[in-house]
């Protein structure tokens, strides 16, 4: 009975979630934004993602999580973790070829997802251990140069590593000590990291460098260094840079590539027509590539207020792929410091009063105003203007009092003109 209730509950929850439209958010800055200015897109993306995650009306997924699913990295790292004990087992069986195959697979996975590995809590120790095991395997396979080469990666990942009988067999003590002596003799050097395009976040051997590319010069270990690049709109990448050490200064420059089968390409092309049509070309293709039902596009355009103060025009578009329409748009120009809070407010405003079931229901056209209604409104406004005129009481008081009919004043003040009586009469005092 308990199992039946549990399965039923899970099924109902799944159906409830399936009813929600899949929505993602894409925040971007216009190309003419000041290149030296700090990015507004990242903090706004984070703030709006937090709001949308809590919105029960939609099933929200982060844009870059759709391009780089977190479960993919977790699965690859998990498989690499399992490969290490398997390699230890095959090493004990002296199946060295199989051991090297398992270790290389693990190393490639750790390298590809090095920032995620470092963020797991245990640091990048698994990568160090994989290189230690590979050094041992090569050593017992008779490949002395290969064993020493693997140790260079060990020391680059963990500069504190020395010969440890718990990690290395006694036969390797001389090899490890000599490799460590060479590492210490070379000493560290300085490294500046750059990228094309610039503005990438950089991780050196799993540790984030404070400044985006081009970075300031930082200390780097002699030998191979793992440099991971992360930039919005570009595929993540980890590359290996060889540093000479010895106090030398070097620059590592890496060209970044777009995502394979880049889903951003149709989206970037569609952005040019957001203000000219309800159905921008290629926007549907982008949404289908991302497998979402709705997209919230947030455009940040650098501008200036009349007084010259730096400002940002925040424009938010809500697109639904099912009817293939931009169903709502809101925008506002504010000072740069107000852009984040403005984006928060506008993101909630753009979701108000819209349908989430994919059925396009355009708003009814405004009711046509009759001539009589226009006349009454004009007459009322004319009277208000006349009442606030500085000579009003002088004119009215000069005849000792007057009865002013609501819609007459402003339409005609001549004694011989025909007067139309409105619903109310106002008594104005005089002398």
Q: What is the mean pLDDT of each run of 10 residues along the chain (431 residues)?
A: 39 50 92 55 92 94 87 93 96 96 96 93 92 97 96 94 94 96 94 94 93 94 95 89 93 90 78 88 88 94 86 95 94 93 96 90 68 76 68 56 44 40 39 41
68 contact partners, CB below 8 Å, separation of at least 6: 236
Q: What is the largest CA-CA distance in the chain?
A: 123
Q: Please, what sign has the CA dihedral across residues 373, 377, 383, 387?
A: positive
Question: Tokens 């290395």, residue?
Answer: 168
326 contact partners, CB below 8 Å, separation of at least 6: 274, 277, 278, 279, 280, 283, 317, 318, 319
- Count the helix, strand and coil residues of the chain and give each as a percent rounded to the nearest 5: 40, 20, 35
Distances (CA, A) of 271 to 29, 41, 275, 326, 342: 11, 16, 9, 12, 21
- Give the separation between CA 140 and CA 102, rounded to whole angstroms: 16
Nearest C-alpha neighbor of 58 from the set 98, 17, 105, 30 = 17
Backbone phi, psi, residue 362, to 5° = -65, 150
151 contact partners, CB below 8 Å, separation of at least 6: 131, 135, 175, 176, 179, 180
Q: What are the tokens at 378?
A: 């004009």
Q: What is the pTM of this model?
A: 0.67
Q: What are the tokens at 90?
A: 């095959």
Can you say how many angstroms the Cα of residue 268 is from the centroid of all Cα atoms in its chain? Answer: 15
- Give the separation between CA 315 and CA 5, rounded to whole angstroms: 47
Which residues share a beta bridge with 230?
201
Rg over CA atoms, the chain: 35
The three-point CA angle 192-198-201 to 5° equals: 70
DSSP state of 280: -
Residue 305 is predicted with a pLDDT of: 81
Residue 7 is predicted with a pLDDT of: 40
Residue 398 is predicted with a pLDDT of: 53
DSSP-derived pairing of the beta strands 402-405 and 425-428:
antiparallel
- Give the separation between CA 151 and CA 265, rounded to whole angstroms: 42
Domains of the chain, earliest start first: 22-67+262-349 (3.40.50.10070), 70-186 (no CATH), 189-255 (2.60.40.1120), 371-428 (no CATH)
CB 205 within 8 A of CB 228: no
Residue 388 is predicted with a pLDDT of: 64
Which alpha helices (DSSP H) does 93-172 contain, by range?
A: 96-112, 114-118, 125-140, 144-157
The three-point CA angle 17-19-24 to 5° equals: 75
Q: What are the tokens at 385?
A: 């203007």
| DSSP code per residue over 39-76 | PSHHHHHHHHHHHHHT-TTSEEEEHHHHHS-HHHHHHH
């Amino acid at each position: 009975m308990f199992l039946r209730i549990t399965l039923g509950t899970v099924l109902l929850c799944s159906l409830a979630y399936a009813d929600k439209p899949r929505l993602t958010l894409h925040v971007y800055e216009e190309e003419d934004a000041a290149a030296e200015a700090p990015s507004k897109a990242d903090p706004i993306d984070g703030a709006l993602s937090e709001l949308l995650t809590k919105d029960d009306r939609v099933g929200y997924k982060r844009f870059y999580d759709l391009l780089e699913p977190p479960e993919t990295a977790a699965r690859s790292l998990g498989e690499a973790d399992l490969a290490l004990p398997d390699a230890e087992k095959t090493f004990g069986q002296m199946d060295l070829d199989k051991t090297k195959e398992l270790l290389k697979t693990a190393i490639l996975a750790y390298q590809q997802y090095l920032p995620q590995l470092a963020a797991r809590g245990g640091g990048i120790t698994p990568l160090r251990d994989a290189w230690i095991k590979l050094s041992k395997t090569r050593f017992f396979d008779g490949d002395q140069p290969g064993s020493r080469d693997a140790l260079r990666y060990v020391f680059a990942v963990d500069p504190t590593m020395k010969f440890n009988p718990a990690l290395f067999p006694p036969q390797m003590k001389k090899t490890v000590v000599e490799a460590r002596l060479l590492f210490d003799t070379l000493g560290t050097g300085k490294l500046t990291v750059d990228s094309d395009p610039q503005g990438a976040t950089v991780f050196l051997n799993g540790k984030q460098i404070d400044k985006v590319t081009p970075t300031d010069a930082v200390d780097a270990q002699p030998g191979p260094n793992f440099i991971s690049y992360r930039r919005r709109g570009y595929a993540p990448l980890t590359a290996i840079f060889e540093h000479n050490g010895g106090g030398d200064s070097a620059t590592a420059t890496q060209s970044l590539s777009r995502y394979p089968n880049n889903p951003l390409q149709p989206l970037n092309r569609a952005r040019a027509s957001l203000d000219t049509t309800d159905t921008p070309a290629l926007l549907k293709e982008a949404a289908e590539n991302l497998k979402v039902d709705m997209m919230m596009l947030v455009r940040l355009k650098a501008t200036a207020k009349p007084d010259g103060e730096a400002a940002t025009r925040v424009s938010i578009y809500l697109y639904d792929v099912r009817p293939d329409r931009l169903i709502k748009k809101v925008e506002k120009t504010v000072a740069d410091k107000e852009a984040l809070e403005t984006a928060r407010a506008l993101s909630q405003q753009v979701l108000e009063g819209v349908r989430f079931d994919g059925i396009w229901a355009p708003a009814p056209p405004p009711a046509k105003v009759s001539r009589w209604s226009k006349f009454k409104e004009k007459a009322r406004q004319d009277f208000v203007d006349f009442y606030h005129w500085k000579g009003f009481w002088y004119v009215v008081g000069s005849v000792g009092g007057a009865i002013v009919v609501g819609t007459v004043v402003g339409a005609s003040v001549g004694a011989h003109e025909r007067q139309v009586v409105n619903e109310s009469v106002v008594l104005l005092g005089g002398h």
